[in-house]
Structure 1
Amino acid sequence: MTSRKKVLLKVIILGDSGVGKTSLMNQYVNKKFSASYKATIGADFLTKEVLVDDRLVTMQLWDTAGQERFQSLGVAFYRGADCCVLVYDVNNAKSFDMLDSWRDEFLIQASPNFPESFPFVVLGNKIDVEESKRAISQKRAMAFCQSKGNIPYFETSAKEAINVEQAFEVIARNALAQEESEDFSDDFPGTININLDNDQSGCAC
């Protein structure tokens, strides 16, 4: 059996402070949830080995501090990312409104080769909070995702472990596809990747 090179996938998780980025990572990697809130200072990362279509890959999940003063962490933090996860709190309208600027910030800092086809995934977190407190409807979030080129969308709860595994499965698959397309364009400089898969079924829930 031929041994394939080990694949390391770099995933950046962005969003306002307090939306649950660290909790989502901890739930996915360690199957743990902590109710005590501690703001991330600068950046932190966790790794997890996962199987994607029978390929063993190592996911490196980078969690950023949502505070503005840490937003300019520098190009090195973003560079080389294979997927970007945008997280907001479904009970906090401002955190949803900020998704656009987080997305723009990522594309400027990471400057991927093909920004129009770079994989993003949107997570609407904290759906365990009672329905009456909800500020952003699923319909509105899905409309945003469709307007940005059918970004996959999941509603999650880090606390109750709802949809966390499913969301990161899609994140891993999209990151691996991005990594392989980058490898292909490195092997054939000057080639243009054309994404023919345009009839994706929109936002996944």
Structure 2
Amino acid sequence: MASRRRMLLKVIILGDSGVGKTSLMNQFVNHKFSNQYKATIGADFLTKEVQIDDRLFTLQIWDTAGQERFQSLGVAFYRGADCCVLVYDVNVTKSFDDLNRWREDFLLQASPHDPDNFPFVVLGNKIDVDGGNSRVVSSKKAKAWCASKGNIPYFETSAKDGTNVEAAFQCIAKNAIKNEPEEDTYLPDTIDMSGGQQQRSSGCDC
């Protein structure tokens, strides 16, 4: 049945270095977290199969480098994206202020056919740090920014303990699906560069 075939959805994760992009991806795909920080060089991706409305989709999640010296690589990785995830650290004001730059840079380099309606999702990460006492960017401020950009969906997450990670990526997948053209591109098999077994999510009941 066609409804059981897997369709590829490309998701790009952007944000300043150190905000937790890699950790969020690993928490969602592998349910693992590491305190050891290692900067992403260029870009890397993981895949995970998700089920939405009785259809199977393969999320190809691209984790990109936050350092300035890798910015020129953006255009090669951004093209063909179905959804862009903007991540900031709720404990670092600059990472929030830079969301504008990341969003504009993506739209410039990816050149989506309908930039005004291209799906973004914003994640305010590291809400677990210091029990929330180190927080400097309020939920109200973040939600106001998202509203000003066309009501971008917003989630507050912890890559460390998994808070809202599953819910956020379910929303990301649903928004990516909306951006897909009518002609679905199906894959015969799930891509897995690591050679490991893919994990299934339980689907979204929201």
**TM bucket, shorter chain:** 0.7 to 0.9
Alignment correspondent of 2:156: 155
Distance in 2 of aligned mates of 1:31 and 1:85: 19
Alignment correspondent of 2:194: none
Aligned length: 182
Counterpart amino acid of residue 61 in structure 1: I
Q: How does 1:1-205 map to 2 (within 5 A)?
A: 1-2=1-2, 6-130=6-130, 131-179=132-180, 182-183=181-182
Can you give the 5+ residue segments of structure 2 that lack an aligned partner in the other structure? 184-206
TM-score by length of 1: 0.86
- Where 2:178 maps in the other structure, the secondary structure is helix
Counterpart amino acid of residue 174 in structure 2: R
Distance 1:135 1:34, change over 3 A: same
User: How much does 1:167 deviate?
Assistant: 0.1
Can you give the 5+ residue segments of structure 1 that lack an aligned partner in the other structure? 185-205
User: How much does 1:74 deviate?
Assistant: 4.2
- Where 1:72 maps in the other structure, the secondary structure is helix
Q: Does the Cα contact within 8 Å between 2:3 and 2:54 map onto a contact in 1? A: no
Identity of aligned residues (%): 73
Distance 1:76 1:183, change over 3 A: farther
Distance 1:2 1:163, change over 3 A: closer
TM-score by length of 2: 0.86
Q: Does the Cα contact within 8 Å between 2:3 and 2:56 map onto a contact in 1? A: no
Distance in 2 of aligned mates of 1:3 and 1:102: 35
Distance in 2 of aligned mates of 1:115 and 1:42: 24
Regions of 4+ moved over 3 Å: 1-6
Counterpart amino acid of residue 68 in structure 2: E
Q: Does the Cα contact within 8 Å between 2:84 and 2:121 map onto a contact in 1? A: yes
Deviations 1:133-158 (A, max 9, x none): 11100000000000000000000000
Counterpart amino acid of residue 40 in structure 1: T
